[in-house]
Amino acid sequence: MSKNMSKKAIFEREFSIVATLVVGAGALLLSFPLFFEEAVGEIDWITIPMVAFPILGSIILLALASQQPRGMKEKMAFPVKAASLGFSLFILAISSALFFGWLGSIDWTTLKINEYNMNHEYTWINSLGISWHVGLDGLSFPMLWLTTLIIPITMITTWEENSGWYHHPLLLLMEGSLIGVFVALDMFMFYVFWELTLIPMFFLILKWGGKDRRYAAQKFFLYTFTASVIMLLGLITLYFLQDPSQYLIDRGVLTGRTFSMIDMTNNAQMAANNGSVWLGESMQNALFLMLMLGFLVKLPAVPFHTWLPDAHVQAPTSGSMVLAGVMLKMGAYGMFRLPLTLFPHALAEYQYLLLAIGMISLVYGSIVCLGQTNLKRMVAYSSVSHMGIVILGIASMQPLGFAGAIFMMFAHGIISPMLFSVCGSFKHHYHTLEIGSTRGLAKASPFLGVYMMFSWMASLGLPLLAGFVAEITVLVAVWMTFGWWVLLPALVLVITAGYYLWSMQRTIFEGSGEVVLPEGMAVEDARDISPWENIGNLLMALLIVLFGVLPWIIWDMMSAYANAHFYFNMGGLLNLVAGGA
C-alpha cells in the first residue's frame, strides 16, 4: 500500500504519528509531577529532562522507526540520528546550565556529604520504602556532565558509519540510563538503572560488533550481571539490617525500612559519632566486600578484568567509546557513593587489599598491554591500567587521593573515547586492527595520525593534558600513605610510554615515504578520516587540553567533595586512629 501512496501522503502519515507521539509523551512527562507526591517544591531539572527524556525519547524514536514499512526504514536513519543528536545536545545544554549556575543558585563547592543540589524526592513504591530520589553533588555532577558530553560526541563521531536506524536511539537510551545511575539517591533506583545500562550496550555489541560479538556480548553481560547480583545481595542485606524503629517519615510502610541512601548515610554517621562500628565489624567488612566486588568487576580491576578486552575488541566504535568513557566510571562512582561513605572502618581494614588490587591492575595491565598486537585490545588494557590508579587513589585514604581518583575518572572519561574513536577510524579506513600491518599512515591520513598521537600522549600522562593532574595528585597521595611503593606506578609511566610509542612507530610512522597497507588494500583506498570523525576528535582534543591547562574548573568541586568526605568520616576515623591503631 505504501508504494501507491504519494510522498505527501507519506509525509502526512509520518507527521501525524510523530505529532501524536510527541504530544502524548509531552503530556505524560509534564504531568509526571502530578502523579507523584512531591517532597520538594523547586523545578526538577533532573528527572524529566535528563532521565525520562532520553529514555522515553529513544523509545519513541525506536517505535517510530520500527513501525515504518520496510522501504522507509533506511530513509529513517537520518532523521532518527538527527533527533537523537538533538535530544542529547539539549540534555548537554541543561547540564552545562546546571554547571554554570544559570538554573537557580547552585554552589558545588560548599556541599557536605549527604547534601545534594537539585534534591528531589517522589514516592514510588511506598510499601517497600522505595522512592524516586534524585540529586547531584560534587561527585556525581562531573560524571553527569561527562556523560552528557560524551554521548553527543560519540554520536557525532560515529555519524557516518552505516549503522541503520536504531543505533543512535540506543545511544540515547544508554545516556538516559547512565544519567539515572549518577543521579540516583535511592539504592533500588540506583540498581535498576545500573542494570538498565547493560541492555543497550549488549545490543550495541551484538548488532554492530566484530566477528566474535556473540561471545563477547554474552560474556560482558553475564560477568558484570553476576557481580551486580552479589552487589544487590549486599544492598538488600543492608536494607534489612536497618532498624525499623528509627524512621520518622512514613516510608517503607510494609517493611518499616527504606532504600534511601541519605538515610543510610545518616545512620552510618550516627553510629560513627557514637564511636561504634556501624552494623558491627564483621558485617560491615562482609558488606563492604560484597559491594566492592560488584564495583570492582565493573571498573574493571585485575583479576576481574577479562571481560573488558573481549568486549572492547568486538564492540563497535560507539560502544567502545561509551563503555570506556562512562560505563567503567560507574564502578568507581558506586564505590565512592556506597562502600566508602558508609563503611569507613572496613575501608581502613581493607586498605592494603585495595592497594594490592590497584597496584596489580596498574602494573599488570600495562605489562600485558605491551604484549598486545591488536590495537583495540592494547587500549582496553591501558584502560585497566588507568583504573588501577583510581583504586590507588582510594586506597591512599587521603582527600588528595580521593580527589585525584575522581579527576582520573573524569579525565580518562574524555581521553578514552578519543583513544577508541582513533582505533575505530583506523579499523574503518584500513580494515584492520593489527599493530604492525601498516606503516607510514601519517602520510595518507595525516589527521588520523595527529589525533592518534595526541590521544596517545594524553593517555600516557603528558603534562598540560588532562591525565597529568590526575596522576600527579594520586601519586602524591600514594607516596604519603605508602611510601616507596610509589616506584611501581612510576615504573608504569615508562612502560605506558613504551607501548604507546612502539605502537605509533609500527602504524603511522616509518614507511620510507610509502604507505604500507595491510593485505588486500589498494593504495587509492587509503584516505583520511571523515569530517564528522574530525569534528568529534577535535572536540575531545580541545576538552583534554582545557582540563589539562585549567583543571580547577572541575577540580574544585571534586576536591570539595573529597574534603567533605573526610570531614564526614573523620569522626569515625579519628576514633579509629586514637583508639584502635
Partner 1 sequence: MMEANELAILIPVLPILAMPVILFLGQLFNGNAKWKGFWKEGGTISTAVMAIVFLLSLWLIVGHVSAFSEGSDDAIVTDVGNWVSYQLFTEHGDMKAQDLGFGMQLDHVSVMLLFVASFLCLLISIFSMGYMNTDKINENRNHRFYAEFVLFCAGMFGMVLADNFLWLFIFWEIMGLCSYLLIGFYYERPSASYAAKKAFLTTRVGDVFLFVGLLIMHAEFGSWDFSVVFNAANIGAADAGLIKAMLLLMFIGAVGKSAQFPLHVWLPDAMEGPTPVSALIHAATMVNAGLYLVARMFPFFAAPAMAGELSDVALLIAMIGGITAFMAAAIAFVQKDIKKVLAYSTMSQLAYIFTGLGASLWFVNNGHDELAFFAFGASMFHLFNHAMAKGMLFMASGSVIHEMHHAHHHLEHSEGEHDEDDEDHFDAQDMDNMGGLASRMPITAIAMAVGSASIIGIPLIGGFWSKEGIVGSAWKAAMYDGGGLFIIPAILVLLTAGMTGFYMSRMWFMTFAGKPKTEVAAHVEETTPFIPIPLVTLTIMTLGGIIFAGLNFAGWLGENSSNLSLSHAPSHLWHEITHAFLALGSDGKIDPLILIITWTTILLSMVIGPFYAMSLYGGKLAKGQKAHWSIAWIVALSGRIHSSYKFDNSVWAESGLSTALRNRLYFDQWYDALMLKIVVPFSYAAAWFDRRIIDGVIKGIETGSQEASRNIRSLTTGSARDYIMMAALGTLALFLLIWGVA
Provide the binding-site residues for partner 1, judged by CB under 8 A.
Answer: 219, 223, 302-303, 305-307, 364, 367-372, 397-400, 403, 440, 442-443, 457, 462-464, 468-469, 472-473, 475-476, 479-480, 486-487, 490-491, 493-494, 497-498, 501-502, 504-505, 508-514, 551-552, 555-556, 559, 562-563, 566-567, 570, 573-574, 577-578
For the chain, the helix, strand and coil percentages under 3-state DSSP, each to the nearest 5: 75, 5, 25
- Cβ proximity of 410 and 146 under 8 Å: yes
CA–CA separation, 416 vs 458, rounded Å?
A: 9
- Measured from the CB atom, the residue of 54 and 388 that comes closer to partner 1 is 388
At a CB cut-off of 8 Å and minimum separation 6, what does 460 contact? 467, 493, 496, 497, 500
CA–CA separation, 269 vs 289, rounded Å?
A: 20
From the CB of 410, what's the least distance to partner 1, in Å? Answer: 13
Angle between helix 466-482 and 375-395 (nearest 10): 40
- Cβ proximity of 93 and 211 under 8 Å: no
Give the other-Cβ count within 10 Å of 490's Cβ.
12
CA–CA separation, 487 vs 75, rounded Å?
A: 57
- Measured from the CB atom, the residue of 268 and 444 that comes closer to partner 1 is 444
From the CB of 127, what's the least distance to partner 1, in Å? Answer: 31
From the CB of 33, what's the least distance to partner 1, in Å? Answer: 39
From the CB of 529, what's the least distance to partner 1, in Å? Answer: 14
From the CB of 106, what's the least distance to partner 1, in Å? Answer: 20
- Measured from the CB atom, the residue of 7 and 211 that comes closer to partner 1 is 211
From the CB of 541, what's the least distance to partner 1, in Å? Answer: 11
- Measured from the CB atom, the residue of 168 and 305 that comes closer to partner 1 is 305
- Cβ proximity of 52 and 29 under 8 Å: yes
Pairing of strands 117-125, 130-136: antiparallel
- Measured from the CB atom, the residue of 176 and 489 that comes closer to partner 1 is 489
From the CB of 398, what's the least distance to partner 1, in Å? Answer: 5
CA–CA separation, 222 vs 218, rounded Å?
A: 6
Please name the amino acid found at residue 526.
A
From the CB of 528, what's the least distance to partner 1, in Å? Answer: 12
Could you tell me how far CA 348 lies from the centroid of its own chain?
26
User: Nearest 5°: phi and psi at 121?
Assistant: -135, 135
Cα separation values, 563 from 231, 323, 496, Å = 27, 29, 31
- Measured from the CB atom, the residue of 316 and 399 that comes closer to partner 1 is 399
- Measured from the CB atom, the residue of 282 and 373 that comes closer to partner 1 is 373
- Measured from the CB atom, the residue of 280 and 463 that comes closer to partner 1 is 463
